[in-house]
Amino acid sequence: MLKLLKKLMIPVFALIFTVIILLFSASYTVRFTETAVKTTFGSANEDSIIDEPGLKPKWPYPIQSVTKYDKRMRIVQTRSETVQTADDFQIIVEGYLSYRVTDPLKFFRAFSNAGDRAQDHFAKAENDVLRDLLRSALGETSKYEMEDLFTSQSGASVIPQLEESVYELLVKGGSGGQPLADYGIDISSVGIDRIVLPEETTSAVINRMGANRDRLAERYESEGRSQAR
């Protein structure tokens, strides 16, 4: 009897293990911070979007698979970009943007060729689209002169105006580009981290300030001589 029970234990445990695996592969959980796309044989449509959180059923892989995207804001930053101002000074600009996925189906269709994982899709979106667009949009800085960007007057800074221009350009997808809404992406905010003067620009600014000071001194001296006569 014991031998018979021992023989039965192995297939019974194997059956239980198989059932557990099937149950696990036939369900998935969507968190409150997530949205999901459920594909059937790799295809997705409007009915594939899962927004409601909770435990959901699905057919085991490879019939159906689920890609879950975090709906919370994500930050993308650029490396230092050299830009020429309207008065021909070289400056270094660093910027950032925050975004989130608002249409998971569009996002999936645009970036799912990067791999099976949501992380792969986010990486492709950020590296191939968002970061390049932000880098290009920061070129709006070239429309402003140095004194507009660096001012000590309260409320006179053009940085908020510059950030608004960059934001509008990004939403449109750049000059002649594809709107970011077509990717299922919504830009929440854009910011200029910092603007730095390279050493050669600092020298040029100092030289120009010195030249302006000399011209002013010469003008005042000339006016003084005229009045003395």
Work out the mean pLDDT of the chain and round it to a whole number.
83
pLDDT score recorded for residue 38: 97
- What residue segments make up the domains of the chain, in order of their start? 2-70, 74-197
What SS3 class is residue 62? coil
pLDDT score recorded for residue 220: 38
**Averaged over 184-208, what is the pLDDT?**
78
CA 139 to chain centre: 17
| Higher pLDDT, residue 13 or 186 | 186
* Total-model pTM: 0.78
Q: Contact at 8 Å (CB) between 185 and 73?
A: no
pLDDT at 180 over 90: yes
| Higher pLDDT, residue 221 or 187 | 187
CATH T-level assignment (fold) for domain 74-197: Tetrahydropterin Synthase; Chain A (3.30.479)
Confidence label for 187 from pLDDT (cuts 50, 70 and 90): very high
